[in-house]
């Protein structure tokens, strides 16, 4: 039986009977558990698989014109040294790659979505970063020995909100093989970014929280790494142009048995919608903001997991 882990002081503890047990057979059960196999089992039951076609359709909504709060916090935690080179795996439209290049870091910006890379190309041209950003079409499941960066190609390799793969251990190992000094990933540490947890609780809807970062932490421990975990939150504002537009937008959250909560959702939005003082201005993805927003800020909690590479350079 695979049991959950609790992160205390940077150490993984096995949970048995509600209390961490660190002595005896309990410890060996944690260390021998196949965390990657369990991750694969969970991914098989996902709502839908992530693929390049899905992200190609979203690419037109991603036009980062400024560094968002999430990106600023991520870059601060990344703690790059001056001039260090990086791999941004799952770079999207460049929300991290562009500000890093502007700060003088050579960036290999990799993504499996050609449309996202097309949007990134426009940003590279707009900011004049052709000499610092190298776009690369690359998926987690590709053979990186053939089409990926060479072993130890960069100082720091990271995946920001983009560990969308069935083989988590393989993805972490690829980052590890690519980096000379440091690796990092961010994963959700509460409900999915698709959900407004405050709203869902208010209307009595059920929400399953994501603990994917626990699997990444324990896989890294089993790989011989010493991962460090830092938590931070990023704010999100959902805007809309009318009550019905808001209901339509937020109804996407009502799945997995919550489909009967539409009336409660409409009542909640009607009571909590307020004028958006920034209506018409570009939002975080470059899309004009709507006339209304809710009277609370939606917050997503992230786990930033960083480690020193444990793989040896190729001989």
DSSP string, 181-211: EEEEEEEESSB-TTS-HHHHHHTT---PBP-
The predicted pLDDT at position 34 comes to 93
Tell me, yes or no, whether 8 and 79 share the same domain: no
The candidate with the shortest Cα–Cα distance to 194, out of 170, 221, 161, 169, is: 161
Task: Please report where in the chains the tokens 């791999």 appear, as a residue.
Answer: 87
Structure tokens at 143: 């053979």
Q: How far is CA 182 from CA 19, 156, 224, 293, in A?
A: 33, 5, 14, 39
Q: How confident is the model at residue 8 (pLDDT cuts 50, 70, 90)?
A: very low
CATH of the domain at 102: 3.40.50.150
The predicted pLDDT at position 258 comes to 82
**For 161-183, what is each residue's pLDDT tens digit?**
999 899 999 999 999 999 999 99
User: Is pLDDT of 2 > 50?
Assistant: no
Count of beta carbons in the 10 Å neighbourhood of residue 120 = 27
pTM, entire model: 0.80
User: Is pLDDT of 33 > 50?
Assistant: yes
Distance CA 99, CA 105 (A): 9
Please report whether residue 41 resides in a domain. Answer: no
Q: State which residues form the domain around 19.
A: 1-33
The predicted pLDDT at position 283 comes to 73
Q: How far is CA 303 from CA 11, 154, 176, 197, 229, in A?
A: 15, 23, 18, 17, 6
Tell me, yes or no, whether 214 and 281 share the same domain: no
Q: Looking at the 3D structure of the chain, how many domains does it have?
A: 3
Considering the chain, what is the average pLDDT of its residues?
84
The predicted pLDDT at position 198 comes to 85
The predicted pLDDT at position 27 comes to 56
Contact 203, 268 (CB under 8 A): yes
Between β-strands 239-240 and 292-294, what pairing exists: parallel, antiparallel or unpaired? antiparallel
**For 50-79, what is each residue's pLDDT tens digit?**
554 454 444 444 555 455 888 999 999 999
Q: Which of 114-128, 217-231, 271-285 has the lowest mean pLDDT?
A: 271-285
Tell me, yes or no, whether 135 and 66 share the same domain: yes
Contact 294, 273 (CB under 8 A): yes
**For 81-116, what is each residue's pLDDT tens digit?**
999 999 999 999 999 999 999 999 999 999 999 999
């Amino acid at each position: 039986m695979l049991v959950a882990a609790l992160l205390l002081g940077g150490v993984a503890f096995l949970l048995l009977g509600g209390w961490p047990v660190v002595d005896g057979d309990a410890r060996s059960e944690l260390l021998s558990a196949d965390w990657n196999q369990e991750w694969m089992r969970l991914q098989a039951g996902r709502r839908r698989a992530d693929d390049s076609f899905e992200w190609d359709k979203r690419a037109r909504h991603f036009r980062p014109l400024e560094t968002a709060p999430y990106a600023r916090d991520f870059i601060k935690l990344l703690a790059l040294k001056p001039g260090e080179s990086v791999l941004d795996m799952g770079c999207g439209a460049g929300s991290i790659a562009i500000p890093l290049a502007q700060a003088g870091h050579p960036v290999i910006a990799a993504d499996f979505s050609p449309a996202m890379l097309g949007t990134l190309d426009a940003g590279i041209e707009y900011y004049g970063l052709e000499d610092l950003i190298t776009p690369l079409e690359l998926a987690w499941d590709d053979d990186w020995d053939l089409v990926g960066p060479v072993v130890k190609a960069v100082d720091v390799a990271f995946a920001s909100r983009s560990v969308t793969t069935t083989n988590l251990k393989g993805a972490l190992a690829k980052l590890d093989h690519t980096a000379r000094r440091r690796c990092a990933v961010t994963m959700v540490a509460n409900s999915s970014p698709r959900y407004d947890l405050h709203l869902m609780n208010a209307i009595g809807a059920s929400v399953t929280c994501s603990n994917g970062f626990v699997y990444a932490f324990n896989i890294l421990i089993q790989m011989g790494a010493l991962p460090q975990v830092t938590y931070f939150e990023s704010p999100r504002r959902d805007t809309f142009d009318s009550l019905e537009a808001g209901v339509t937008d937020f109804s996407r959250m009502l799945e997995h048995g919550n489909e009967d909560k539409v009336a409660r959702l409409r009542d909640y939005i009607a009571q909590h919608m307020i004028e958006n003082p920034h209506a018409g201005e570009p939002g975080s993805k470059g899309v004009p903001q709507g006339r209304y927003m809710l009277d609370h800020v939606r917050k997503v909690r992230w786990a930033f997991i960083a480690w020193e590479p444990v793989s040896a350079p190729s001989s």
